[in-house]
Amino acid sequence: MIYLDYAATTPLDPEVRAGMEQALENHGNPSSVHAFGRKARQLLEEGRERLAEALGCRPRELILTSGGSEADALALYGVALARGRGHLVSTQVEHSAVLLALRNLERLGFAVTLLAPDRYGLIYPEQVAEALRSDTLLVSLMTVNNELGTLYPVRAVAELCRARGVLFHTDAVQAFGTVPCRVEELGADLISIAAHKFYGPKGAGALYVRKGVELFPLVPGKQEQGYRGGTENLPAVYGMGLAAEKAVAVLPQESKRLLGLRERLEGHLLALPGVELNGHPTLRSPKHVNITAKGADGEGLLLNLDLLGVAASAGSACSSGSLEPSHVLLAIGRSREEAKASVRFSLGRFTTEAEVDQAARAFAEALRRSRDDGWRATEAAEGPGWR
């Protein structure tokens, strides 16, 4: 199998796996005062410090979480519930973790504005400025779109929000390890990340919280400065620190390599009839290639790709056995049929040129099969001569 779904999750780096073994061997609770607990605390804080160094922040500005979704929830609920009432601004193309949290906050009486993207999925600082109100508490804008790979003007929006006295959160889950994401580069007050997106273990993430920002804790407890109770996942946190350290170290050369692979894959795919690119042509993550194959059956396309040995994902999410259109693709103007006929390829550290070429050939065959299946299904339903 050729794995081209790095945007969904990345393989655990072998070096990270090896480094996690010492944390797995220590069964102490980091909150215990005996020798086992002190050793566990030492490893936990070492992992936190490595992550802080990679992000360019102080270790105490990091709240350890179970992943990106929890980090997003803590940022949104935490700010809103600490204030009690007010207005939040986000976009129609955010990850569902953000959108569902905002929907719940609306039910609690908060006002929410969701900005519409352009056809490339872009959001502009001017849109944010127009949406701000006197009671706006928080703006949440992702750093990189998880489906399209489109890059957002996070720094400009952060400066705008700071000038207006509004907190700014960015979901950098899809960005960290792929594009520069140090705190001073993003300028955000709150930043969400998840280890399994940068070759670390699943079940670990973090929320950067700028000193002085007040949050309401979602899980009360004594751990994580009172913001997130519960015994920390020591092996995963230690692995996250190792993975972050390596991701930042290899970023310059890896980003250049991925961009070359992305352009190679795009060249193959866009040469096929009826295949169009989704997302911005240049302001895009080096690992994302999202395409729409007009006239294809999306579910059949993915199934055939899998049978041909290529793992990719839909431009829409599978729910209850049916392919539901992606809210992101609908927001940028794709029809329901086009959204269902879309595929996201995402490249990573272990992707090779040979795999890209083979995946492109497999896609061409899967596309042929999918279109043939669609024609046969329509002919069966409408009778011969429907064309």
What pLDDT digit, counting tens, does each position of 304-329 carry?
999 999 999 985 443 334 467 899 99
Q: Rounded to an integer, what distance in angstroms lies between the CA atom of residue 378 and that of residue 297?
A: 11
Kind and range of the H or E element at 81? helix 68-83
Give the residue numbers marked as catalytic.
318
What pLDDT digit, counting tens, does each position of 347-386 carry?
999 999 999 999 999 999 999 998 776 544 434 444 433 3
DSSP state for residue 293 in the 8-state scheme = E
What pLDDT digit, counting tens, does each position of 15-47 carry?
999 999 989 998 999 999 999 999 999 999 999
Q: Rounded to an integer, what distance in angstroms lies between the CA atom of residue 311 and that of residue 359?
A: 9
Amino acid occupying residue 311: A
Cβ count near 68 (within 10 Å)? 27
Query: Number of C-alpha atoms within 13 angstroms, CB side, residue 18?
Result: 3
Q: Rounded to an integer, what distance in angstroms lies between the CA atom of residue 89 and that of residue 96?
A: 15
Q: How far is CA 269 from CA 21, 255, 292, in A?
A: 41, 21, 10
In this predicted structure, the answer to whether residue 13 has a pLDDT above a threshold of 90 is yes
Residue 101 contacts residue 73 (beta carbons within 8 Å): yes
Query: Nearest 5°: phi and psi at 144?
Result: -135, 130
